[in-house]
């Protein structure tokens, strides 16, 4: 989806900083403002392991409330106790990594710590069976339709503000 000037202003306002490395608006809320953006995983030679950012502040707030209610722990317990859920979660993690890392041109030229950063999963986790940031998982689910953790979050906060 193309990025128009109004989107850039909206994102800047929501993030409270100058957005960097935006590739596209991945999804929009019903009222058409940007909901999820996709950003470059490498910028000024620095690796940013997060590919999809939730930028709708209404949805960000709702997810933050869930996090404050120990919902990360609850979903982690589901992963740890339900093999099918875990398997599907790991597929989402691998999809995310593959998509992100494919955007890196000349990966062989990266230094050791940069290469290490590219092994991380959603939210920058080193262990792929761990949940860290529900905003990141929801953003991935809203964009791709496949992320069991993001899907659980969407069941509560919805898919638009
Ligand atoms: Zn919204």
Q: Residues 35-48: pLDDT tens digits?
A: 999 999 988 888 88
Centroid of ligand 1 to alpha carbon of 43 (angstroms) = 26
Bridge partners, 36 (sequence order): 27, 54
Instruction: Tell how far the Cα of 60 is from the centroid of ligand 1, in angstroms.
Output: 9
Ligand 1 mean position to 151 CA, how many Å?
17
Interval 118-144: pLDDT, tens? 999 999 999 999 999 999 999 999 999
Q: Which carries the bigger pLDDT value, residue 152 or residue 13? A: 152
61: containing domain: 5-157
Cα distances from 117 to residues 41, 71, 114, 137, in angstroms, run 10, 26, 5, 18
- How far is the centre of ligand 1, averaged over its atoms, from the C-alpha of 135 (Å)? 13
The C-alpha atoms of residue 128 and residue 121 are separated, in whole angstroms, by 6
140 close to 122: Cβ distance less than 8 angstroms:
yes
Give the confidence band of 153 by pLDDT, cuts at 50, 70, 90: very high
Averaged pLDDT score across all residues of the chain:
94
Overall number of domains in the chain: 1
Q: pLDDT band at residue 61, thresholds of 50, 70 and 90?
A: very high
Centre of ligand 1 to C-alpha 87, Å, is 30
* Beta strand segments in the chain, E: 22-28, 34-39, 42-43, 46-47, 52-54
Q: How many whole angstroms from 131 Cα to the centroid of ligand 1?
A: 23
DSSP class of residue 101 equals H
What is the whole-number distance in angstroms between the Cα of residue 133 and the centre of ligand 1?
A: 19
For β-strands 52-54 and 46-47, DSSP reports them as unpaired
Question: What's the confidence (pLDDT) of residue 51?
Answer: 95
105-124 mean pLDDT:
91
36 alpha carbon – ligand 1 mean position (Å)? 9
Q: Which pLDDT belongs to residue 34?
A: 95
- pLDDT (tens digit, 9 = 90+) per residue, 68-102? 999 999 999 999 999 999 999 999 999 999 999 99
Cα 69-93-58 angle, rounded to 5 deg: 40
């Amino acid at each position: 989806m193309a990025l128009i000037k109004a989107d850039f202003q909206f994102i800047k306002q929501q993030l409270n900083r100058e957005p960097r490395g935006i590739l596209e608006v991945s999804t929009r809320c019903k009222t058409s403002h940007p909901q999820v953006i996709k950003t470059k995983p490498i910028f000024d030679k620095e690796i940013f392991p997060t590919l999809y950012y939730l930028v709708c502040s209404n949805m960000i707030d709702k997810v933050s409330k869930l996090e404050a209610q120990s919902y990360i722990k609850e979903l982690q317990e589901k992963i740890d106790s339900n093999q099918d859920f875990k398997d599907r979660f790991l597929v989402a993690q691998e999809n995310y990594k593959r998509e992100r890392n494919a955007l890196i041109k000349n990966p062989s030229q990266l230094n050791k710590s940069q290469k290490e950063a590219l092994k991380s999963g959603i939210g920058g986790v080193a262990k792929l069976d761990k949940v860290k940031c529900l905003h990141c998982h929801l953003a991935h689910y809203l964009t791709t339709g496949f992320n069991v953790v993001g899907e659980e979050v969407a069941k509560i906060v919805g898919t638009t503000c």
